[in-house]
Amino acid sequence: MIMEHELVKKLKWAKITIAILVVIIAIILGSRTVALPQDGLPGEGIVSERPESFTNIDLTLFWSIWDQLKDSYVDDDRLNDQEMTYGAIKGMVNSLNDPYTGFLTPEEASMFKGSLNAELEGIGAELTIEEDILKIVSPLKNSPAEAAGIRPGDIIYKIGDELAADFDLFEAVQKIRGPRGTQIALTLVRKDVDEPFEVIITRNKIELDSVTTEELDDDIFLISINQFSDDTLSEFLAATREALLANAKGVIIDLRYNGGGYLEITVDMLGELLEPGQTAVKIESRKDSYSQVLETNGKARLAHLPVAVLINQGSASASEILAGALQDYGRAYLIGEQSFGKGTVQEVVDFPDGSSLRLTIARWLTPKGRDINKKGLTPDEVVEFTPEAIEAKQDIQLDRAIEYLKAQFAL
């Protein structure tokens, strides 16, 4: 590993995705524990000491409403001080309108952490919420969602008979995930379809290889990166060795439907594609301790080969870091569709009562300083799937990448 900055070792790159597999919100940047005094926990009394930034805040209205609820609400058995406090905290956090910043109650946080170690079952899709709209970031490869025809950018209008707009991301995931063999009905809105339509998806075990390889014709080597997880770096290094042993003349890196993962792994992988000491990514934050420039320090074993990178709307976060750096340095030709546009960094703050805060702490920029958040990367050549190509199951984006590399060989 090349990273020395302690923050980077802690963080994961947020997909916020998902994982409707069994995972609740897949890759959130590592965690740190905040020392919150035990007497400051909800339901255990009011803390009299307030932070300095709180001095000009008048909470008279808050307490007036609290008293009205406690005094007059018809179903007094529903008035739980702790749940009301957690609800107020959620409202405060949600007022930021940031889908990547959120508060989890102890129960929710426990379910999230437990699901990270569970066998992955569900529909196999990555989700986000944008402007209160629940969207598909991407279906995972070979997943039930992909088999059902789910596409990046699809809007989930209904989950079963319930409106998706009535749920936050955590609640939506809870509704959609489930054990293998069970079914879930999703009503979708798609930009090229006039009316909402329903798909029935049978949940299943999700098996996702981090990196897969294939030797194509004309000495072209395909490396498909499906996620940036614990095993991705070692698998990518093995793929690099395979490409060299195969005497590959060019490499295609497929990042389509890859919603992201670990930041440090992404930087290490760039070390095989860029020369040592080149900027991989820039991180900007309100706090100087978080702001930094991360550089490559690998063996650059693929730095001499022409590279084509495939991206689409499902390419997010760490995928965009990798593709953006290669594009900035002219080291790769990007083919496909506009990427997702996830350009922020999160961490998880754990509290002694078991609750946690998922918090956006920084933005990341490409080596040339491009901010792709909510915009995405524009490929060097846009290639969109036609209805005919979809019907024929023809990968026209991959075909174009092969054509591009062949042309480079002739130069």
Active-site residues, by number, are 317, 342, 346
DSSP for residue 310: E
**Exposed, middle or buried by CB within 10 Å (0-12, 13-18, 19+), for 133?**
middle
3-class secondary-structure state, position 328: helix
Angle, CA 147 vertex, CA 127 and CA 215 arms, to 5°: 100
DSSP string, 38-57: GGGSTTS-------GGGTT-
Beta strands (DSSP E) in 246-350 are: 250-254, 279-284, 292-295, 307-311, 333-336, 344-350
Which phi and psi angles does 187 have, rounded to 5°?
-100, 120
Q: What sign has the CA pseudo-torsion 383, 385, 386, 392?
A: positive
**Separation of alpha carbons 271 and 260, rounded Å:** 18
| Type of residue numbered 206 | I
Give the β-pairing of 31-33 and 279-284: unpaired
Residues contacting 299, CB < 8 A, separation 6+: 271, 272
Question: Residue 171 CA to chain centroid, in angstroms?
Answer: 17
Are residues 140 and 56 in contact, defined by beta-carbon separation less than 8 angstroms?
no
CA distance readout (Å), 18 to 129, 170, 185, 210, 295: 11, 9, 18, 16, 29
